Amino acid sequence: MAQRYIQPAAPPSEQTFQKDLFVGKVVLSTGGRSGIVNKMIRMMMKHGADSVIIGRNGPENAKAAQQLSTETGRTCLPVQADVRKPEDLKAAAKACMDKFGRLDFVICALLFRSLAPISGLSENAFKTVIDIDLLGTYNTIKATIPYVRQSRGSYIHISATLHYRGLPYQAHVSAAKAGVDALSQVLAVEEGPHGVRSNVIAPGPIGGTPGMERLSPKGDKSIEAVPLGRMGDGDEIATMGMFLFSKAATWITGQIFVVDGGEHHVRLPALAYPESVLDPAKVKSLIAARL
């Protein structure tokens, strides 16, 4: 049998992009305190951008902003806001304009993930996910679009691949992310004549993220089926974001870019089917082992 090839990680961004690629540009993000989006913001700041990160936890958000500024030498403005409240996001967008005088790029990256079957999912739990993921994205767009029009800027929405198939225990998140995909496409059509672009990045399994740590059962071997042989890294999502925000992507809008090493084409269920549906208690015990 031939030996399995494992795709190496992408090189540092400095080997791919100009150091001053985003000098004079400003990016605003929801959820930039940690995870994938934190890496996206850090990489853009390393290439000259200033930033605004929005989060509900004011002290933790401020700590993350200080760290980003220290590491990159650029300015990161933390803004405490709840994406479910339009007035909070309007205030955040105004704070961005007051500080920097412009807004070029917006990253909508909202995620509220948990496991629950439809039969055991309360209306309130379903609504909470929709309110944070989908309505939060809508509110972010509404608050920022006047300023992004001025700069002829661009949006990136962080989605997922789980809604491409019926995935057990993820009805609420699947519905929200499917809505985000559709919202981005409509935004691209409506705002294209104003010079604004909108695209989606749908990450696959990314190592070290809260979602993978919490929701992937201990001993999960489904990652072995990824065609490129490994989990992704947050920097690889950030690299795609760099490209989509750059002038190299000026003719690209309304698209969904799956960055998952080909995983969604051959996805094997981390939770055995149909056993996981017939015995929900087993699912809870598997997940509990990771917490």
Q: What angle do CA 36, 40, 42 make, to 5 degrees?
A: 115
Taking only Cα atoms into account, the Rg of the chain, rounded to an integer number of angstroms, comes to: 19
Give, rounded to a whole angstrom, the gap between the first and last alpha carbons of the chain. 37
At 228, give phi and psi (nearest 5°): -90, 5
Whole-number Å distance between alpha carbons of 88 and 139: 9
Segment holding 45, helix H or strand E: helix 35-46
Q: Which residue among the candidates 25, 177, 198, 216 is catalytic per the annotation?
A: 177
Place of tokens 């500080």: 99
- Let me know: does 237 contact 263? Beta carbons within 8 Å: no
Asked about 127 being catalytic, the answer comes back as no
Asked about 69 being catalytic, the answer comes back as no
Q: Which residue among the candidates 159, 174, 184, 198 is catalytic per the annotation?
A: 159
- List active site positions: 159, 177
